[in-house]
Structure 1
Amino acid sequence: MEKAKLYLDEDITDLLARVLRTMGYDAVSAHEIKMEGRSDEDQLYYAIKNQRALLTCNVSHFTNLARMCYEKNITHYGIVVTPQLDFKEILRRVTVFLDNIPATDLKDRYIWL
């Protein structure tokens, strides 16, 4: 099973990306690539361009962007949203998610962790 590659927007700590990489996952943070302060659309387009699922806590904005992608027939590689949780719980949810859902199943999907 091919695991999803993740792009963590600036609402998610870059520590999560670093820890995920030490565990063998492919994850990059907006903080690491200097995307802080960019619009949510820019965050999503970066993820699309790099064929990464986007992980965010910004539920309302990315719900609207997922709808926009659907209406404009824009392909994305998954929008994954999570509530603001403590680090260990987000890490747990993300690793369970990555271990159980193949990257191919994420295309054009909006998923709540």
Structure 2
Amino acid sequence: MDKISKNTAAHYIWGESCDGWNLVSGQELSVIHERMPAHTYEARHYHHKARQFFFILKGQALMQLEGRTVELAEQEGIEIPPLAVHQIVNVSDAPVEFLVISHPTTRGDRTEV
């Protein structure tokens, strides 16, 4: 196995200005390092099979989860079970960076609401 870093990982842009780096990209496990600029958000959605864990590396974010709001600071995380409607939001004036760990992968397993 070779080591991986944000500098060597496959990069993509999602939304209008958010970044993602695929650190692990398998069928059974996905690990993505993501960066959201200030005042950005993802679309509300859920996954049929994937269970996810979001872990904040830098900054702070809000997780909208099944009608409630959870504040996440640096070094805090939250587990998202399958079928739970969720949305991560950066309401701060600074970027937020976080890991999204999914089992199994979320490819083809996302439904927007």
TM-score by length of structure 2 reads 0.30
Of Structure 1 and Structure 2, the greater helix share is in 1
Of Structure 1 and Structure 2, the greater strand share is in 2
Q: For the pair shown, which has the larger CA radius of gyration, 1 or 2?
A: 2
